[in-house]
Amino acid sequence: MTQTGPEKKQFTVSETQRDVRLDFYLADIAKLCTRSQIKTRTADIAVNGKKAKLSRKIKAGDVIALVYKQPPPLELVPEKMELRILYEDDSVIVINKPQGLVVHPGAGNPSGTLVNGLLAHCTRIQDSFKNHELRPGIVHRLDKDTSGVIITAKHPDALEFLSRQFRLRTTRKRYIALVNGKLPQKTGIIVTAYYRDRKNRKKFACAEIDAGRPFRGKIAETHYKVISEWDSGSLVALTPHTGRTHQLRVHMRSINCPVIGDPIYGKQSGKEKHTLMLHAWKLKIRLPGEKKQKVFTAPIPQRFKKVVDKFSRSL
User: Tell me: the pLDDT tens digits for 214-237?
Assistant: 888 899 999 999 999 998 899 999
Q: What does the pLDDT read at residue 67?
A: 86
Q: Topology of domain 85-168, per CATH? A: Pseudouridine synthase (3.30.2350)
Name the pLDDT band for 2 (thresholds 50, 70, 90): very low
DSSP the chain: --PPPEEEEEEE--GGG-SSBHHHIIIIIS-SS-GGGHHHHEEEEEETTEE--TTPBP-TT-EEEEEEEPPPPP----------EEEE-SSEEEEEEPTT--SS-BTTBSSSSHHHHHHHH-HHHHHHTTTSTT-TTB-S---TT-EEEEEEESSHHHHHHHHHHHHTT-SEEEEEEEEES--SSSEEEEEEEEEE-SS-TT-EEEEPPPTTS--SSEEEEEEEEEEEE-SSEEEEEEEESS--TTHHHHHHHHTT-PBTT-TTTS---SS------EEEEEEEEEPTT-SSEEEEEPPPPHHHHHHHHHHHHT-
User: Tell me: the pLDDT tens digits for 268-313?
Assistant: 665 667 899 999 999 999 999 999 999 999 999 999 998 998 888 7
Say whether 262 is catalytic: no
Instruction: Kindly state the average pLDDT of the residues 171-199.
Output: 94
- CATH pick for 6-69 out of 3.30.230.70, 3.40.50.150, 3.10.290.10, 3.40.50.2300: 3.10.290.10
The catalytic residue among 23, 143, 145, 262 is 143
User: Tell me: the pLDDT tens digits for 14-55?
Assistant: 887 778 889 888 888 887 777 777 877 787 899 999 999 888
Domain extent listing, the chain = 6-69, 85-168, 173-313
What architecture is the 173-313 domain classified under in CATH? 2-Layer Sandwich (3.30)
Q: What does the pLDDT read at residue 1?
A: 44
- pLDDT > 90 in the chain, percent: 63
Q: What does the pLDDT read at residue 4?
A: 56
Tell me if 6-69 shares its fold with 173-313. no
